[in-house]
Structure 1
Amino acid sequence: QKGSLVAPERLRFDFSHPRSLTKKELQHIETDVNHYIDLDTEVKVNFMDQKQAIEGGAMALFGEKYDDRVRVITMGESNQEDLATSVELCGGTHVSQTGEVGGFKITSESSVASGVRRIEALTGSFVKAYVRELEISKKHALKDQLAKEKTEREKALQTKKKLDDILAFDDSDIQSISGTNFLAKIIQDVPPRELKSLVDRLKTKIESGVVAVLSVDDSKVSIVVGVTEDCTKKYDAVEIVGIGAKILGGSKGGGRKDLAQSGGTNTKSTGAAIQAIEKFL
């Protein structure tokens, strides 16, 4: 033991230990302490000579100074041989029965110095209040988590519908510029991570040509350009996406000759970006 605080509703216990306690170890401590509380055994107080107390097995803290005559507290006694007994030199005030403690709940375990750990806990009616608040907090957290998951599912369904709608484009949406097919789409609130796979699927559907998809999400706009394999000798997706990104107020972007991505903040310039790409083609 390295230190302690005992109050009517809480306690702090510092002890030497090289590492943090595991969840299982903390549960074991709680179970043991509550077991002795539930036994409701008598807390005995005796006064005796210090030497006699130490020889009788009483625990004295290193560094503490004791009078020649000491107060010895004994608790947790039982006729069952497998139950240990606590015998300590102590001048503090104690309950008359262990059951009066009412309950024990660890609230934290932490480090206070090198090789010294600290356990903080609640007792009595404060345990019930703490557990009740914990249960309420868990219910709120679960409710928030379920609401979050529902929102995410709804967003995922909305995104899927938008992607399906784009994939179901009409052939009249495809322009022919200098003998090259060009398909451009502007969409709202589709995550950037969905755009590359979308452009790849659109490339497959148009079979030959260039595809540009722009997605506006809050104050940002993402742009992905795809070039079918047969057109990569004539056009470079990185170059094309850079032209669109410049209009959108973004960087040059990056990727491969057949697929490149960039973005910007000029959300109202999506039409101008597509026109710049059309002019380049």
Structure 2
Amino acid sequence: CGGTHVNRTGDIGQFKLLSESGVSAGIRRIEAVVGLAANLHTNSIQNSLNEVAALLKVTPLEVPSRVEILIQERKKLEKEMNALRRSVAAGDNSKGKSELAKNISGINFVGRTLTDVPPGQLKSFADELMAKIDNGIVVLITNTKGKASLVIKVSEDLSGKISAVELCQIGSKILGGNGGGGRPEMAQAGGPNSSSIPLALETIETAIRDRKI
């Protein structure tokens, strides 16, 4: 800058680097503010830090350590919440197969409707439930932020007769979804009609009972 954009480098005043990135091989690009703009940028950062410190009820210098504590507390709460969700989905560990599952035409069946369980956790919950009942069909449907997610697991000895994919298609239709997909042993689907979750579960049970699949 000195001699080109200003008479001398000292005229720039404060220099604040904002970002640095690669443009092409051997060429780097930097973005910065100088002078009054740099002062305003620094003041803006300080004001934001002061606001965060006030919210956390600590001094600005204590913000990093306080944020780290909050992050660890959040991780702990998420872990406890996941354990609670797992407990609700899988049922009481003290219960035997006959208490966890109902008998539908000679098939062990477990159906659960859940709330605010991340869809990505349903498969592991279904695996745990299947391990408890040994063989049969597990259906889990969760309402998460107004949307329904469905996972169905069928034990291997039944998957040749009853397909999890076909059961998912039945449930997905009621939930307003597009049918879902997966394998005969495990399939998943979803839909926007979370209010239809009880009907979807009931219809899947009926399909198993009547073997309309």
Q: What is the TM-score of this pair, normalised by structure 1?
A: 0.55
Q: Does structure 1 conserve the Cα–Cα contact (< 8 Å) formed by 2:141 and 2:197?
A: yes
1:186-205 CA-partner distances (Å, limit 9, x unpaired): 01001011011111111111
Q: CA RMSD in A?
A: 3.7
C-alpha spacing 1:104/1:266, structure 2 compared with 1 (3 Å): same
Q: Which of 97, 106, 115 is 2:16 aligned to?
A: 106
C-alpha spacing 1:279/1:119, structure 2 compared with 1 (3 Å): closer
Per the TM alignment, residue 239 of structure 1 is displaced from its structure 2 partner at its CA by: 0.6
1:250-273 CA-partner distances (Å, limit 9, x unpaired): 111111111000011111111111
The letter for the 2-side match of 1:237 is: A
Q: What is the TM-score of this pair, normalised by structure 2?
A: 0.71
Q: Does structure 2 conserve the Cα–Cα contact (< 8 Å) formed by 1:241 and 1:262?
A: yes
Q: Does structure 2 conserve the Cα–Cα contact (< 8 Å) formed by 1:251 and 1:264?
A: yes
SS at match of 1:250: coil
Structural mapping, 1:68-217, within 5 Å: 104-108=14-18, 120-123=32-35, 130-137=41-48, 140=52, 150-151=73-74, 153-169=76-92, 170=95, 171-217=98-144
Instruction: State the identity %.
Output: 29
Aligned length: 189
The letter for the 2-side match of 1:133 is: S
Cα distance between partner residues in 1 of 2:30 and 2:167: 62
Q: Does structure 2 conserve the Cα–Cα contact (< 8 Å) formed by 1:2 and 1:116?
A: no
Per the TM alignment, residue 274 of structure 1 is displaced from its structure 2 partner at its CA by: 1.1
Cα distance between partner residues in 2 of 1:127 and 1:158: 45
Structural mapping, 1:230-249, within 5 Å: 230-249=157-176
C-alpha spacing 1:147/1:5, structure 2 compared with 1 (3 Å): farther
Structural mapping, 1:21-36, within 5 Å: none
Per the TM alignment, residue 238 of structure 1 is displaced from its structure 2 partner at its CA by: 0.5
Q: Is there any run of 5+ residues in structure 1 with no aligned partner, and where?
A: 7-91
Match of 1:35 in 2: none
Q: Does structure 2 conserve the Cα–Cα contact (< 8 Å) formed by 1:226 and 1:259?
A: yes
C-alpha spacing 1:180/1:280, structure 2 compared with 1 (3 Å): same
Structural mapping, 1:54-73, within 5 Å: none
Per the TM alignment, residue 219 of structure 1 is displaced from its structure 2 partner at its CA by: 1.6
Deviates more, 1:265-274 or 1:161-170: 161-170
1:114-168 CA-partner distances (Å, limit 9, x unpaired): 9896764424x87566445334546749677876775565344223212123223
Match of 2:148 in 1: 221
The letter for the 2-side match of 1:279 is: T
Q: Does structure 1 conserve the Cα–Cα contact (< 8 Å) formed by 2:181 and 2:187?
A: yes
C-alpha spacing 1:229/1:3, structure 2 compared with 1 (3 Å): farther
Q: Which runs of 4+ in 1 moved over 6 A?
A: 114-118, 143-146
The letter for the 2-side match of 1:134 is: I
